[in-house]
Amino acid sequence: MARYWVIGGEYRDTEFRELAPGAEEVRRGPFATLAEAREVWAELSWRAVDNCNTRYVIRKEDEAAGDP
């Protein structure tokens, strides 16, 4: 059974490779369905809609590794 995570936060710039100084990665989940993860993704994304350096993505957990 697949599990989904919402991961992201505020990044240093719009390349989204490194978190902003002092920022911590946000992880929400796991969610049993993609629809559940999308609801949380939308909520977090709309809260930060005015900050172009904030980004959230949905990741499917790698069942073999147990990591999103």
pLDDT tens digit sequence for 33-45:
999 999 999 999 9
Rg over alpha carbons for the chain, rounded to the nearest Å, is: 12
8 Å CB contact between 38 and 67: no
Residue ranges of the alpha helices (H) in 1-68? 34-47
Q: What is the pTM of this model?
A: 0.86
Residue with tokens 């946000």: 26
Distances (CA, A) of 57 to 4, 35: 10, 13
pLDDT per position as a tens digit, 4-39: 999 999 999 999 999 999 999 999 999 999 999 999
